[in-house]
A and B are shown apart, each in its own frame.
Chain A
Amino acid sequence: MTRQQSQQLAIWVITAVSAIVVIPILIVILYMLYNGISTISWEFISQPPRNGMTEGGIFPALLGTIFLTLGTAVAAIPLGVGAAIYLAEYAGDNRLTRAIRLAIVNLAGIPSIVYGLFGLGMFVLFLNYGTSILAGSLTLGLMTLPVIISTAEEAILSVPQEFRIVSLSLGATRWQTIRNQVLPHALPGIITGVILGLGRAAGETAPILFTVAAFYLPNLPKSIFDQSMALPYHLYVIATQVPGMPLGIQYGTALILLFIVLSLTLVATLIRSTMRRRREW
């Protein structure tokens, strides 16, 4: 085999591998579109389920997922970004920070059901928040923390060191330097990480199983101490727990959930690419 031939072969193999990765995703999306698109209408999005959930829409679950995602953001962003700033800008390399980093890596590796059980023990029972949006948001927030911390830290570290040195040499304090030179330039990366983390949280079932999600609620939640329906759990329920569930509703619900997660990811990608293009250095 000549060098040109082996090169050709390598390109073919790599292309084939890429296709193998992409094709199943496309098939899943197309199959869901084929089966679910006809169900989706304004009524489906804006109405509660009716008749033992076999009719009507998914509004309470959709709203619940939106609330939970916002709650996750409120819980995880300050903590995650704060921790990232500390790790990247203030903490040196010592036993304490190595322990913190190790803990973060381990947090990322914990199965989501374990977060769910921890949330049950910690927020629902011990702190007595009950099965509530608060408990669910905190549990999801905890699960999202490692993603936010590591992407935000990476974004902060990618800001050129010269900007920090110049800022300090011009008489800025350390915090002024972080505030004026580091965070503005790290922001696109931080936002991207936050949105990706939230996208993952929006689609999770296990952490909300014991902490917030309701099988069916006739009323919408009135405060953060109320239970709520949520899309991923609702999908699980109608796919496995309700006999005689029309397929169209199942696929429609899955499509909406997929749409939410995909659009969050898309927004993250867009933010990253536009801000990168606008960057001067």
Chain B
Amino acid sequence: MKEQAMTPAKISVKNTTFTYGDGTQALKNINLDIRPNELFVLFGPSRSGKTTLMRLMNRLSDLIDDTTREGEILFNGQDVFGRRTDITDLRRRVSMVFAIPTPLPGSIYDNMTYGLRMAGIRDKAVIDERVERGLQQAAIWDEVKDRLDSSAFALSGGQKQRLCLARSLALEPEVILLDNPTSGLDPISTATVERSLYELKQTYTIIMVPHSVQQAARVADRAAFMLNGELVEVGTQQELFLNPHDKRTEDYITGRFG
């Protein structure tokens, strides 16, 4: 508790309830603090609200019609749904990497520079430096450095996934939202991505939906277990995976349902 008081939360979710147009209550009164430079894992069965919660953090939820929302989400202490929020700036600082890797049509280089160009950055030296660093941080630089001009669609699934991560990193965000970054990856690529997560959290705050409970336990600094739109339990890796308080968390972790 003492530590929490000292470091202000990077993202703070307060009393947040979110309902879709069809009446599905995706989030029920969520309260959650994410601290700077931690790897925070949101896990739980499908349709428990993990992705919805992540999409609220950079307001990608705006793209869905007919939703209702209560509560507030603070990023660096500012309500992201406040009137003064510059949404494009927010999305550059809280960057989402989707579960299904989706390159934009064009070359690898085009993909890497898209966000920068849209932000109005024209300086080629700056852009090239960000491209290289992003690709290196996502552990894909060596594989693509000689073919930056070839189509992003020609990459393998795992490479696309890392390219999409690199594309976000090129924006130098503060928070990265990773929705199942190892979906469809082989164990070797998964290990590569998990290793780079450790490097990344030195610089960024990472919020991640894991591929499995095992992965959650491997990579998390802290984690939250979600079920049917409720936040069941939040804790450090030790607390949550070795000594869960809630019966439902224990049942899920030990594989009794899921």
In the complex, the answer to whether B118 meets A180 with C-beta atoms within 8 Å is: yes
Residues of A within 8 A of B98 (CB): 162, 165-166, 169
Q: How far is the CB of B122 from chain A (nearest CB, A)?
A: 15
Q: Is B151 an interface residue (CB 8 A)?
A: yes
Is residue A92 contacting chain B, with contact meaning CB distance below 8 A? yes
A85 to B: closest C-beta gap in Å: 17
Contact B105 A172 (CB under 8 A): no
CB of A185 closer than 8 Å to a CB of B: yes
The answer to whether B63 has its CB under 8 Å from any CB of chain A is yes
CB < 8 Å A-B pair total: 60
Q: Are A170 and B105 in contact (CB under 8 A)?
A: no
In the complex the two chains form, what is the Cα distance from A171 to B119 in whole Å?
Answer: 7
Collect the chain B residues with CB atoms within 8 Å of residue A180's CB.
114, 118
Q: Is A170 a contact of B60 with CB atoms below 8 Å?
A: no
Query: B88 contacts the other chain (Cβ, under 8 Å)?
Result: yes
- From A162, A176, A279, B102 is in contact (CB under 8 Å) with A162
Of residues 54 through 77 on chain B, the ones whose CB sits less than 8 Å from some CB of chain A are 58, 60, 63, 65
Task: Please tell me if B27 contacts chain A, counting CB pairs below 8 Å.
Answer: no
Name the contact of A168 in the complex, choosing from B63, B65, B105, B168 (C-beta under 8 A): B63
Q: Would you give the shortest CB distance from B238 to chain A, in whole angstroms?
A: 33
Given known A-B contacts A163-B105, A185-B105, A168 and B60 have beta carbons under 8 A apart: yes
Count residues of A near B (Cβ-Cβ below 8 Å).
Answer: 19
> B248 interface residue, CB < 8 Å from A?
no
Residues on the B chain within 8 Å of A176, using CB:
118
Task: List A residues 256-281 near B (Cβ within 8 Å).
Answer: 279-281
**Complex contact A172–B60 (CB within 8 A):** no
Q: CA separation between A279 and B151, bound complex, in Å? A: 11
Instruction: Verify A166–B63 contact, CB threshold 8 A.
Output: no
Report yes or no: B60 in contact with A169, Cβ–Cβ below 8 A. Answer: yes
Known contacts: A163-B102, A170-B167, A171-B89. The answer to whether A280 contacts B151 by CB under 8 A is yes
A35 beta carbon closer than 8 Å to chain B:
no
Restricting to A166-185, which residues have a CB under 8 Å from any CB of B? 166-173, 176, 180-181, 185
Contact B115 A172 (CB under 8 A): yes
Q: Check A171/B171 contact, CB under 8 A, given A163-B102, A165-B60, A280-B153.
A: yes
A185 to B100, CA, bound (A): 21
Return the chain A residue nearest B119 by Cβ.
A171
With A163-B105, A166-B104 as known contacts, state yes or no: A172 contacts B118, CB within 8 Å.
yes
Contact B91 A167 (CB under 8 A): no
- Proximity string of chain B (84-100) to chain A, C-beta cutoff 8 Å, 1 when within and 0 when not: 00001101100110101
Q: Provide the residues of chain B in CB contact with A168, threshold 8 Å.
A: 60, 63, 91
CB-based contact B104/A163 at 8 Å: yes
Partner of A171, one of B92, B100, B105, B153: B92
Of listed A166, A173, A180, residue having the most chain B CB within 10 A: A166
14 A-B pairs with CB atoms under 8 Å apart are: A162-B100, A165-B102, A166-B98, A166-B102, A167-B118, A169-B60, A169-B95, A170-B115, A170-B171, A171-B92, A171-B119, A171-B171, A172-B115, A173-B88
